[in-house]
Amino acid sequence: MPHRDHLTPTSSGFFVSQEAPIHTDHPIPTPTAPAPDILRCAYMELVVTDLQRSRDFYVDILGLTVTEEDEQTVYLRSLEEFIHHNLVLREGPVAAVAAFSYRVRTPEDLDKAVAFYTELGCRVERRADGFTKGIGDSVRVTDPLGFPYEFFHDVEHVERLAWRYDLYTPGALVRLDHFNQVTPDVPRAVKFMQDLGFRVTEDIQDEEGTVYAAWMRRKPTVHDTAMTGGDGPRMHHVAFSTHEKHNILAICDKLGALRRSDCIERGPGRHGVSNAFYLYLRDPDGHRVEIYTQDYYTGDPDNPVVTWDVHDNQRRDFWGNPVVPSWYTDASLVLDLDGNPQPLVAREEESELEATIGADGFSYTRRGDEEHGFKLGNTL
Amino acid sequence: MPHRDHLTPTSSGFFVSQEAPIHTDHPIPTPTAPAPDILRCAYMELVVTDLQRSRDFYVDILGLTVTEEDEQTVYLRSLEEFIHHNLVLREGPVAAVAAFSYRVRTPEDLDKAVAFYTELGCRVERRADGFTKGIGDSVRVTDPLGFPYEFFHDVEHVERLAWRYDLYTPGALVRLDHFNQVTPDVPRAVKFMQDLGFRVTEDIQDEEGTVYAAWMRRKPTVHDTAMTGGDGPRMHHVAFSTHEKHNILAICDKLGALRRSDCIERGPGRHGVSNAFYLYLRDPDGHRVEIYTQDYYTGDPDNPVVTWDVHDNQRRDFWGNPVVPSWYTDASLVLDLDGNPQPLVAREEESELEATIGADGFSYTRRGDEEHGFKLGNTL
Amino acid sequence: MPHRDHLTPTSSGFFVSQEAPIHTDHPIPTPTAPAPDILRCAYMELVVTDLQRSRDFYVDILGLTVTEEDEQTVYLRSLEEFIHHNLVLREGPVAAVAAFSYRVRTPEDLDKAVAFYTELGCRVERRADGFTKGIGDSVRVTDPLGFPYEFFHDVEHVERLAWRYDLYTPGALVRLDHFNQVTPDVPRAVKFMQDLGFRVTEDIQDEEGTVYAAWMRRKPTVHDTAMTGGDGPRMHHVAFSTHEKHNILAICDKLGALRRSDCIERGPGRHGVSNAFYLYLRDPDGHRVEIYTQDYYTGDPDNPVVTWDVHDNQRRDFWGNPVVPSWYTDASLVLDLDGNPQPLVAREEESELEATIGADGFSYTRRGDEEHGFKLGNTL
Amino acid sequence: MPHRDHLTPTSSGFFVSQEAPIHTDHPIPTPTAPAPDILRCAYMELVVTDLQRSRDFYVDILGLTVTEEDEQTVYLRSLEEFIHHNLVLREGPVAAVAAFSYRVRTPEDLDKAVAFYTELGCRVERRADGFTKGIGDSVRVTDPLGFPYEFFHDVEHVERLAWRYDLYTPGALVRLDHFNQVTPDVPRAVKFMQDLGFRVTEDIQDEEGTVYAAWMRRKPTVHDTAMTGGDGPRMHHVAFSTHEKHNILAICDKLGALRRSDCIERGPGRHGVSNAFYLYLRDPDGHRVEIYTQDYYTGDPDNPVVTWDVHDNQRRDFWGNPVVPSWYTDASLVLDLDGNPQPLVAREEESELEATIGADGFSYTRRGDEEHGFKLGNTL
């Protein structure tokens, strides 16, 4: 980040800028075909190895609503959703992600999606009846980064249960908030996502300009998806929202009561990036689920882009609590359109884990202050 | 609402439909000029009669941040805002609203605003340096409904204080959420706002099709503004968001501690419409301020429109608590572009107060059930 | 309250004193026998007219835990309780209270209870096997005020479910907090309760010294029971605690979702007296249940006694919201030891409702300030 | 814990019993003189090395109220307190604890305290004017465990600010809840505290009966003080209560905003022991402060004693989050009555840190299940 001179420091310790301060020397070419108009991340299709165990986790523990189910598949939604599902659990031999699915504004945006990805030389498959129940005409692609992306507009409406407080649990999940993807070259991925119409809201860099992660949005929240640097393509997590922070604490309490606290991987805590309150869980297959609440509005075109220093100990946990190594290293496989796991490409740039943890890494609470306090980060 | 047959009943007691079930026989003509692309409600300019008393209310009690101030004017913003202000308090002889101000996507949208309102025969004024500090090129109009509307794109950026928890109070206001306007003919007003690019999210009707109020949005929340039936044009309220419900309770507690509880007009409570948690205050001039949290995402183009029956006792307070008469009858004057109060036009259709309160009105907790319980609504 | 000169005004508008400023000219004689050492209010036995409807209310809606049940009776406890029950629902012909039951420190305290009430000439009944399941040796009396009081020490222990967060609902009730009794002569009742070992924590008076209500405790909270002035003996309410305020709001939301909001009689709100957050419900028989959280520690012997002026509009609701008339007028019958309803004795002193509501009453937000604001209290 | 057979397992994974399952072979003799009747822990006197820095921490950050101050000393109280102070900060050369102070029921209890400790051969000092401002007749002793204990009854009353919500911060501290002491021989210390009138509510043991920590109460909460096994006498922490969990999160957020997050040592989290929600901070001298909310009522004489297995990973954090080593190893010195630090006696029994962390330790989420998950505990 030699260009840190061009960023504006804030009283909170991070920087802001107008343009996303991320540049790539290895861009994917920008298609001449216009990108589809994406509304929001809409659902994830997860392959799970034991459908009943996964159903127990997502329905009995997390309280997602079953819209429909059969022997192979469970279709789940959050309480404020009116489309058929936000999560599909499909039983299969290898735990993986079959689709990151986005809703587009119009049926015609599917034609645009086909043209956009076809021009990029991607494999593209379109099904008029959709790939999952409840969804109509859909396009699935393996994108240039290796991820299985889906786009759809037509969808079955179901009742929005927002007012059905008799169905709420103490940890009620009300919305799908975002995806998070692992990819080796973050700037290259960001540039591609910008071509797809996404806007950067926050990122993590070091002073040399290495980008460790970036957050991007279509709907006016901090993100619909994020790119996290690491061996990829992999899925880092899928995130659901609660209304309040105590709802997230209630999920922890319930896991403790059920003697399932070992599926709490990290948190709860306050993010620096996004300013949201968070918790990371691991489902029975190890798929990571974030529970998330209270980020901020980002819908203005000149919304300030926030850049965090990778050595700022409050960037990922605003209270300075340590990130467990598994959070950096583990992620889920993603599938190609034939259902085979995508091979991984190693990240060549420095890893955030190595840059920030252990004897060689260093991080600060106050810039220029070498005190470390009681934090575990530097002793892991 | 003879067309109630075309609405879909829900398990929560209201109806949903795809198209806003609101039709007018007295439409304002739709301009051929395209509407400006409005991002969101951005700020309100309030004329107050005693600047210091109003500053005490909005700064010392409600905790809004002073961006800038002079002897005549205080510019205030909420904690998550990055534009110069969300509220302008300007001292003047008559308490009133000088502007409902919206941010538009591009500078060019101001040209569109000029053309749109000019074609409608409205008075239009444009100032390259803006009408208030911190705002650049702006267009103000007296719209066909008599309201002073402003549009701008250029604005001074200030620091978003979202991460500055050292500045938060227990009742911290984080965003401007919406305006609410009083107008005699709601369907006519809705049709005009739809021409301006707004979408209806919810409304209140009776079985005969009389529309008592409607909520409309640009950003994907339940509203940027609402139209409430009554003598108008007047301003019903301006609303700020908190993160959680306890923040709203904390404002009540603080008002009690300061022996200012008499400025609590209604609530706190849960709205039926919007599903948000709410509180209504009256400022020293009687301007009504709502504190609001936790409505739902409405950004999909086929977001279900919610229609409430005017006799459903849970429509305005989901717990069935009564609406005080002043909430229906009182509202603030609005100014023309010369600063003179607009004359009022009387509502000709039935008033919601009369339809629902007192011996002639009736309302129900359960449709078809005539029990009234302890509620005050029918005894006021 | 001519002795108001002897009270110390506070910055919050009420007064404090060391001795409860309540005196009676018609005392019940103080027994020479020592009072039993009461630990706390422990359970109420309620007679309900439709056991299934009441079970639905207390179990399915409020989430109390069934310890045991049979065709006539349901035994319920709160989540943090380790004794057999906090509430007994027993089906009977007339809705009423069969017992206000207190736990005493030792088995020998039952002997003291027998001697204490026998000396007072009360009817006393002792059963070695208890009057309800799960409770051992017990003494029931009709006390000098006409109330059916019970004392016990031996009790069956059951699992304290405090850590069983998998069983919590959003509105989880964790403790029985207090009873509230209606009696015509509050000072006489207070004096008797002081003889029984209770200490006054707060009261409501007017300037002439009329006492409208008083709160008294054994455990170090604001009360185990309160005496409310009115025709009596009757039971005003029984109160359960939640952990946080949002739990109380969740109960309102659930009642709205179930279209049972008409059982919300008053609140939610912040009490002046006790400083607790509250909600009043009415069960299917009209028995009043309070949901309550966050009063303060009162266990020091010199805990300041708080006296509120009856005309202080923030005494019963710190936010100045009105008390509905039914809250003053309605209460449950209580039974004698044969199960017959006790006849009522009319209150002779002024009623709080008449003193504070309507054209003749007056109340203030700020002492000496005659403004009334939007409050409904003076218009009911 | 060979006697674990005599304990009753619960569905939450811990055991309950009627008598505290703690026995010592090295008891301090029980005095024949009766113990004073202790009401509650009342205040701690802390020696700090930089009064201004400490004042910044406790007043500006944590929001305690200054009752009185001079150049050497600051007297602080929580919002619901009516006695002069709950914390005294006194500047001195060595950071340490000068007194753990308890309030007793009557002035005569001071005579009992003198007799009780004199019989034990302890140094006892009594001052009619007290050792700190605002406190009258007081007794200070060096107790048989080496701790500086104080007892008083007479105290200056100050205004209870519970209703002064205008003074509340988002992280408002409302009560002093408890102390926590480090002592080498926990069973010996427990036996002594039982002689002083304390009752055990919870403890941590292993299967061999080694006791690692025990919690004891006078007021009916989980504790007024606890004994933690380690080199002692030292002070482990002093704890203040908030009303709700979000208040504790707000303190973390504020520390992040102030770039002081490195004073967060552990948490926030849910305790297994006590079931309370917690956070541990370190003040500028390293004195540990706990912020605590929502334990349970323990006032019945047969309140079930809870015993946790030291290898139960949810005993100290119900969510299984790791305890940082410093939390086990660090504690504050305590002073003798001349103001000199007490020498430490090493703990001879196994340490909880060694028993539970690292390759030799082991802990479980589910008894009999060897999976470790992502927790850091076994990798530290």
Q: Flag if C163 and D272 touch (Cβ within 8 Å).
A: yes
- Say which residue, B2 or B165, is predicted with more confidence: B165
Q: How far is CA B140 from the centre of its chain?
A: 19
Q: How far apart are CA C107 and CA C85, in angstroms?
A: 19
Residues of chain D neighbouring C274 (CB-CB closer than 8 A): none
pLDDT tens string D261-271:
999 999 999 99
Residues of chain B neighbouring A37 (CB-CB closer than 8 A): none
A246 interfaces chain C, CB cutoff of 8 Å = yes
C83 interfaces chain D, CB cutoff of 8 Å = yes
Residues C33-39 have a mean pLDDT of: 98
A12 interfaces chain B, CB cutoff of 8 Å = yes
Residues C27-53 have a mean pLDDT of: 98
Residues of chain C neighbouring A258 (CB-CB closer than 8 A): 166
Mean pLDDT of chain B: 95
The answer to whether residue B361 scores a pLDDT higher than 90 is no
| pLDDT for the residue D60 | 98
Q: Which helix (H) or strand (E) holds C214?
A: strand C211-217
Residues of chain D neighbouring A380 (CB-CB closer than 8 A): 376, 379
B359: exposed, middle or buried (Cβ count in 10 Å: 0-12, 13-18, 19+): exposed
Confidence of residue C371 (pLDDT cuts 50, 70, 90): low
Q: Flag if B250 and D169 touch (Cβ within 8 Å).
A: no
Closest Cα in chain C, distance from residue B261 (Å): 5
Q: How far apart are CA D308 and CA D200, in angstroms?
A: 13
- Read off the tokens for C338: 């044969």
| pLDDT for the residue A379 | 45
In sequence order, the β-bridge partners of residue A271 are: none
Beta strands in chain A (DSSP E): 8-9, 15-17, 38-48, 65-69, 73-77, 87-91, 96-104, 124-127, 138-142, 148-152, 175-183, 199-205, 211-217, 225-229, 234-241, 264-270, 277-282, 288-293, 305-309, 332-334
Q: How far is CA C39 from the centre of its chain?
A: 16
Residues D371-378 have a mean pLDDT of: 53
Residues of chain B neighbouring A103 (CB-CB closer than 8 A): 300
The answer to whether residue A371 scores a pLDDT higher than 90 is no
For chains A and B, what is the number of CB pairs under 8 angstroms?
82
Q: How far apart are CA B175 and CA B178, in angstroms?
A: 9
In chain D, the residue whose alpha carbon lies closest to the alpha carbon of B244 is D246
The answer to whether residue A199 scores a pLDDT higher than 80 is yes
Q: Flag if C12 and B246 touch (Cβ within 8 Å).
A: no
In sequence order, the β-bridge partners of residue B232 are: B345
User: Residue B165 is nearest to which of D164, D168, D257, comparing CB atoms?
Assistant: D257
In chain A, the residue whose alpha carbon lies closest to the alpha carbon of D13 is A259
Cβ neighbour number for residue A237 with a 10 Å cutoff: 25
Domain B172-349 classification at class level: alpha beta
Q: Flag if B164 and A12 touch (Cβ within 8 Å).
A: yes
- Read off the tokens for B126: 């444009």
Residues of chain B neighbouring D256 (CB-CB closer than 8 A): 163, 165
Mean pLDDT of chain D: 95
Q: Using CA of residue C234, residue C239, residue C245, residue C250, what is the dihedral sign? A: negative
Would you say D269 and D319 are in contact if contact means Cβ atoms under 8 Å apart? Answer: yes
**Best mutation target, C84, C296, C314, to test chain D (most D CBs within 10 A):** C296
Q: Side chain identity at A185, as an amino acid letter?
A: D
Q: Flag if D246 and B244 touch (Cβ within 8 Å).
A: yes
Q: What ipTM, to 2 d.p.?
A: 0.96
Would you say A54 and A47 are in contact if contact means Cβ atoms under 8 Å apart? Answer: no
B107 interfaces chain A, CB cutoff of 8 Å = no
| pLDDT for the residue A373 | 56
CA-wise closest residue to C51 among C311, C297, C285: C285
In chain D, the residue whose alpha carbon lies closest to the alpha carbon of A323 is D376
> Where is average pLDDT lowest: A59-68, A242-251, B202-211, D355-364?
D355-364
Helix, strand, coil abundance in chain B, percent, nearest 5: 20, 35, 50
- Read off the tokens for B97: 């609203």
Whether A38-167 and A2-30+170-353 are alike in CATH topology: the answer is yes
User: Residue D244 is nearest to which of C83, C244, C318, comparing CB atoms?
Assistant: C244
The answer to whether residue C2 scores a pLDDT higher than 80 is no
- Say which residue, B221 or C354, is predicted with more confidence: B221
Would you say A155 and A83 are in contact if contact means Cβ atoms under 8 Å apart? Answer: yes
The answer to whether residue C376 scores a pLDDT higher than 80 is no
Q: How far apart are CA A225 and CA A150, in angstroms?
A: 13
The answer to whether residue A356 scores a pLDDT higher than 90 is no
Residues C363-376 have a mean pLDDT of: 71
The answer to whether residue B253 scores a pLDDT higher than 50 is yes
C38-158 carries CATH number 3.40.640.10? no
| pLDDT for the residue C19 | 86
Residues of chain C neighbouring A172 (CB-CB closer than 8 A): 170
pLDDT tens string C68-106:
999 999 999 999 999 999 999 999 999 999 999 999 999
The answer to whether residue D215 scores a pLDDT higher than 70 is yes
Residues of chain A neighbouring D277 (CB-CB closer than 8 A): 249
CA-wise closest residue to D296 among D286, D309, D306: D306
Would you say C281 and C239 are in contact if contact means Cβ atoms under 8 Å apart? Answer: no
| pLDDT for the residue C156 | 98
Residues 6 or more apart in contact with residue C213 via CB below 8 angstroms = C186, C203, C204, C226, C227, C228, C229, C273, C352
Domain D2-26+169-356 classification at class level: alpha beta
First to last CA, chain B: 27
In chain B, the residue whose alpha carbon lies closest to the alpha carbon of D249 is B165
User: Residue A261 is nearest to which of D245, D257, D320, comparing CB atoms?
Assistant: D320
Architecture of domain A38-167: Roll (3.10)
- Reduced to 3 states (helix: H, G, I; strand: E, B; else coil), residue A174 is coil
The answer to whether residue B1 scores a pLDDT higher than 50 is no
Between strands C148-152 and A38-48, the pairing is unpaired
User: Residue B258 is nearest to which of D166, D169, D256, comparing CB atoms?
Assistant: D166
Query: Dihedral angle at the C-alpha atoms of C120, C121, C122, C124, nearest 10 degrees?
Result: 100
- Say which residue, D380 or D212, is predicted with more confidence: D212
pLDDT tens string D118-157:
999 999 999 999 999 999 999 999 999 999 999 999 999 9
- How far is CA B27 from each of CA A337, B119, B147, B205, D241, rounded to the nearest angstrom? 52, 15, 17, 19, 60
Residues of chain A neighbouring D274 (CB-CB closer than 8 A): none
A39 interfaces chain B, CB cutoff of 8 Å = yes
The answer to whether residue D380 scores a pLDDT higher than 80 is no
Q: How far apart are CA A316 and CA A304, in angstroms?
A: 19
pLDDT tens string D248-297:
999 999 999 999 999 999 999 999 999 999 999 999 999 999 999 999 99
Would you say B155 and B135 are in contact if contact means Cβ atoms under 8 Å apart? Answer: yes
Cis peptide preceding D233, ω within 30 of 0: yes
Residue B370: DSSP 8-state: -
D319 interfaces chain C, CB cutoff of 8 Å = no
In chain B, the residue whose alpha carbon lies closest to the alpha carbon of C261 is B319
- Read off the tokens for A149: 């992306």
- Read off the tokens for C80: 């943090």
Q: How far apart are CA C81 and CA C68, in angstroms?
A: 14
C169-352 CATH:
3.10.180.10
C345 interfaces chain B, CB cutoff of 8 Å = no
Residues C31-56 have a mean pLDDT of: 98
Cis peptide preceding C301, ω within 30 of 0: no
B250 interfaces chain D, CB cutoff of 8 Å = yes
**Best mutation target, D249, D263, D369, D372, to test chain A (most A CBs within 10 A):** D249
> Where is average pLDDT lowest: A331-335, A352-356, B292-296, C195-199?
A352-356
Closest Cα in chain A, distance from residue D15 (Å): 15
Which residue matches tokens 């949201």? A276
The answer to whether residue B254 scores a pLDDT higher than 90 is yes
Domain A2-30+170-353 classification at class level: alpha beta
Domain boundaries, chain B: 38-167, 172-349
Q: How far apart are CA A334 and CA A142, in angstroms?
A: 10
Closest Cα in chain B, distance from residue A63 (Å): 19
| pLDDT for the residue D375 | 54
Residues B215-243 have a mean pLDDT of: 98
Residues of chain B neighbouring D257 (CB-CB closer than 8 A): 163-167
Which residue matches tokens 């410093």? D326
Q: How far apart are CA B214 and CA B223, in angstroms?
A: 9
pLDDT tens string B267-288:
999 999 999 999 999 999 999 9
- Read off the tokens for D62: 């944590």
Residues of chain B neighbouring A220 (CB-CB closer than 8 A): 219-220
**Residues shown for chain A:** 380
